[in-house]
């Protein structure tokens, strides 16, 4: 309340609040006489000021308006409760609620707490049982933790299902392979020699542009070849060496025999047709395929022993990606033997089967690799921090003494999938021997150096033999990066669907699939009858 006081000397009049706030007004009075006129002015001021202060304080406080419309209103809202001798109820409620939540956050949730299934049910139970604030806070915390756990488990289950979808053969592609295999046995045109006898000398002619593709996926191979030929300025200079396994050879041969891509030249060979490989090097890779630990790793229960709470979905997805059985396939390791498999070739471009060529690649044969063996895109720098942020530490276990001794965790990694190889320079190195040595060492260590794949041993074997090429030649990540920039995709010479979401799978990204599917031969009878790309 307001107080009115005179000084002992009766020379001044002070107006102040009763709760210790600063004086509101101080009026000096003449030293020797007290003027009625002065008293009249003081009373007049008080009569005008006090009602205004009280009314303003009461109105602003009681209305509890969230925002102030004027500076005076804000002043009244701030000081009003104090003038009235009480604290702001809403502020007190917030403080009390914070104290309860902070206490509940550090306490153990009661075991006998029965949780409602939804927020509306929680509100209903609060109304019926009149829970106190502490019980309400416990129930809210327990419900949030339960929902977070269920969402996390659901995410991991989704990743597992995606892994199985990525490692299985789609029904349409399986159908296509079976139909073509049958055609090979019954149709003489499907067994025609590839290439025709008069073109055989061109298979080792170094004035041509030689591509090597190793795959057991007929549909994927058809897209790679079609995109290369259609994007080339000189398709008549293209020679494709398609390598496949024994079980897919008939189907692969049938496809290219019945669907020629002239003027380009196509050769289809099975692994079993390479005498050098069968005699000397199959035992090395058979050890990889037949190793018990390897087979358990790639064909066992991938979720057994995985602790959901100890990893993130992204880390779990990355581990699953490295569990693809393709990494123990001989076809996948075949690229390390290219100089011996093609002894007469000098320069080749090696392609993965999950790529699409969108621009003429003939300039790659003109690149000066500076005496290096492997022209590749580095993956440790670029606009995409997720895709282009790979160093050796992303692939190797540096807690292993042998790895820590020989490798630098911050060394830049590079990409497989589209590589220009100078085979003349390669044949002067020990790249293959180094690759096989580290492959064996990893098996001896029970795969503690890296989880099997072709890139980690290649990163070691090709050290000091890699020439970085412009990133526009090879864009990666279309098989796992859903946020891939479509405009960047259009500009890239080669786009790579590395990752689980291959464009021929239902889990492929819809906005990225058209870049691949436009090279599928939809007019082919087998493609139509096998309902390729249909859901």
Contact 138, 113 (CB under 8 A): yes
Closest CA to 356 of 493, 256, 469, 255: 493
Q: Where are the alpha helices (DSSP H) in 69-170?
A: 71-83, 89-106, 119-129, 133-167
Sign of CA dihedral 146, 147, 153, 157: positive
Give the best-scoring range by mean pLDDT among 109-118, 200-209, 300-309, 326-335: 200-209
Residue 66 has pLDDT above 80, yes or no: no
Closest CA to 358 of 233, 239, 242, 266: 233
Closest CA to 445 of 457, 455, 433: 457
Closest CA to 528 of 25, 520, 64, 498: 520
Q: What is the pLDDT of residue 81?
A: 53
Segment 414-443, tens digit of pLDDT = 999 999 999 999 999 999 999 989 988 988
Q: Say which residue, 108 or 313, is predicted with more confidence.
A: 108
Contact 293, 446 (CB under 8 A): yes
Contact 170, 213 (CB under 8 A): no
Q: The tokens 């542009």 sit on which residue?
A: 209
Mean pLDDT computed over 116-126: 80
Q: Say which residue, 458 or 280, is predicted with more confidence.
A: 458
Residue 55 has pLDDT above 70, yes or no: no
Segment 88-98, tens digit of pLDDT = 677 887 887 77
Give the best-scoring range by mean pLDDT among 21-35, 46-60, 72-86, 306-320: 306-320
3-state SS track over 159-202:
HHHHHHHHHCCCHHHHHHHHHHHHHHHHCHHHHCCCCCHHHHHH
Q: Give CA torsion, residues 178, 183, 189, 194, to 10 deg.
A: 20
Contact 302, 320 (CB under 8 A): yes
Cα 99 from Cα 105, distance rounded (Å):
10
Segment 189-198, tens digit of pLDDT = 999 999 999 9
- Beta strands per DSSP E along 198-273: 209-214, 238-244, 265-270
Residue 31 has pLDDT above 50, yes or no: no
Closest CA to 519 of 184, 160, 224: 224
Q: Give the count of beta carbons closer than 10 Å to the beta carbon of residue 393.
A: 15
Contact 425, 444 (CB under 8 A): no
Both structure tokens of 435:
């690759």
Both structure tokens of 1:
């309340």
Q: In what order do the strands lie in the sheet with 2-6?
A: 2-6, 12-17, 25-28
Kindly report the backbone phi and psi dihedral angles of residue 229, in degrees, each rounded to the nearest multiple of 5, phi listed first: -70, -45
Contact 251, 177 (CB under 8 A): yes
Q: Which of 145-149, 187-191, 254-258, 286-290 has the lowest mean pLDDT?
A: 286-290
Closest CA to 248 of 329, 307, 128: 329
Q: In what order do the strands lie in the sheet with 418-422?
A: 265-270, 238-244, 209-214, 347-351, 418-422, 374-376, 466-468
Q: The tokens 């002043």 sit on which residue?
A: 75
What is the pairing mode between strands 2-6 and 12-17?
Answer: antiparallel
Q: What is the pLDDT of residue 443?
A: 83
What is the pairing mode between strands 265-270 and 238-244?
Answer: parallel
Q: Give the count of beta carbons closer than 10 Å to the beta carbon of residue 228.
A: 27
Cα 429 from Cα 382, distance rounded (Å):
30
Q: pLDDT tier at 124 (50, 70, 90 boundaries)?
A: confident
Q: Which of 98-112, 246-260, 363-377, 425-439 has the lowest mean pLDDT?
A: 98-112
Q: Is 290 left (phi over 0), alpha (psi -120 to 50) or beta?
A: alpha
Q: What is the pLDDT of residue 21?
A: 47
Q: CA neighbours within 13 Å on the CB side: how many for 461?
A: 23
Segment 331-372, tens digit of pLDDT = 888 999 999 999 999 999 999 999 999 999 999 999 999 999
Count of all residues that appear for the chain in the document: 535
Q: The tokens 């202060």 sit on which residue?
A: 53
Is residue 458 within a helix (H) or strand (E), and if so which, with residue range?
helix 455-461
Q: How far is CA 496 from the centre of its chain?
A: 15
Sign of CA dihedral 150, 156, 157, 159: positive
Q: What is the mean pLDDT of the chain?
A: 82
Both structure tokens of 516:
């691949």
Q: What is the pLDDT of residue 126?
A: 76
Q: The tokens 């804000």 sit on which residue?
A: 74
Residue 194's alpha-carbon distances to 41, 84, 200, 257, in angstroms, are: 117, 99, 9, 7
> Global pTM?
0.73
Q: What is the pLDDT of residue 52?
A: 55
Segment 313-331, tens digit of pLDDT = 666 666 666 566 666 677 8
Residue 9's alpha-carbon distances to 26, 31, 74, 153, in angstroms, are: 14, 8, 38, 82
């Amino acid at each position: 309340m307001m107080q009115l006081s005179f000084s002992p000397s009766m020379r001044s009049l002070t107006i102040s609040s009763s709760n210790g706030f600063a004086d509101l007004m101080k009026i000096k009075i003449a030293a020797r006489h007290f003027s009625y006129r002065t008293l009249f002015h003081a009373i007049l001021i008080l009569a005008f000021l006090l009602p205004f202060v009280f009314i303003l304080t009461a109105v602003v406080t009681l209305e509890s308006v969230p925002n102030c419309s004027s500076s005076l209103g804000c002043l009244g809202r701030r000081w009003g409760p104090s003038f009235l001798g009480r604290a702001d109820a809403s502020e007190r409620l917030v403080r009390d609620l914070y104290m309860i939540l902070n206490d509940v956050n550090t306490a153990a949730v009661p075991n006998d707490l029965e949780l409602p299934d939804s927020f509306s049910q929680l509100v209903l139970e609060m109304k019926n049982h009149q829970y106190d604030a502490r019980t309400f806070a416990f129930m809210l915390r327990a419900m949030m933790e339960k929902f977070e756990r269920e969402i996390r488990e659901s995410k991991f289950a989704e990743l597992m299902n995606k892994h199985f979808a990525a490692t299985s053969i789609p029904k349409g592609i399986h159908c296509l392979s079976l139909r073509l295999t049958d055609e090979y046995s019954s149709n003489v045109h499907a067994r025609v020699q590839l290439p025709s006898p008069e073109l055989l000398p061109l298979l080792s002619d170094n004035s041509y542009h030689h591509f090597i593709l190793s795959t057991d996926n007929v549909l994927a191979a058809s897209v790679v070849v079609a995109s290369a030929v259609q994007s080339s300025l000189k398709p008549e200079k293209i020679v494709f060496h398609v390598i496949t396994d024994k079980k897919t050879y008939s189907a692969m041969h049938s496809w290219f025999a019945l669907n020629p891509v002239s003027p380009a030249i196509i050769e289809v060979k099975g692994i079993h047709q390479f005498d050098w490989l069968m005699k000397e090097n199959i035992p090395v890779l058979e050890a990889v395929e037949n190793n018990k630990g390897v087979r358990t790793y790639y064909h066992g229960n991938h979720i057994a022993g995985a602790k959901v709470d100890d990893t993130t979905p992204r880390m779990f997805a990355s581990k699953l990606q490295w569990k693809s059985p393709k990494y123990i396939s001989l076809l996948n390791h075949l690229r390390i033997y290219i100089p011996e498999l093609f002894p007469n070739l000098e320069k080749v471009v090696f392609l993965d089967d999950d790529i699409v060529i969108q621009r003429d690649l003939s300039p790659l044969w003109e690149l000066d690799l500076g005496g290096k063996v492997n022209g590749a895109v580095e993956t440790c720098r670029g606009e995409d921090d997720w895709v282009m942020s790979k160093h050796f530490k992303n692939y190797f276990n540096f807690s292993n003494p042998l790895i820590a001794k020989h490798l630098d965790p911050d060394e830049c990694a590079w990409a497989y999938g589209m590589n220009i190889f100078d085979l003349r320079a390669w044949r002067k190195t020990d790249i293959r021997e180094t690759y096989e040595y580290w492959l064996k060492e990893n098996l001896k260590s029970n795969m503690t150096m890296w989880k099997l794949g072709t890139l980690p041993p290649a990163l070691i074997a090709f050290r000091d033999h890699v020439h970085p090429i412009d990133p526009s030649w090879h864009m990666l990540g279309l098989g796992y990066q859903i946020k891939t920039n479509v405009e960047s995709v259009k500009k890239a010479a080669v786009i790579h669907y590395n990752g689980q979401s291959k464009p021929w799978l239902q889990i492929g990204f819809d906005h990225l699939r058209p870049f691949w599917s436009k090279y599928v031969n939809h007019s082919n009878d087998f493609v139509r009858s096998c309902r390729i790309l249909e859901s």
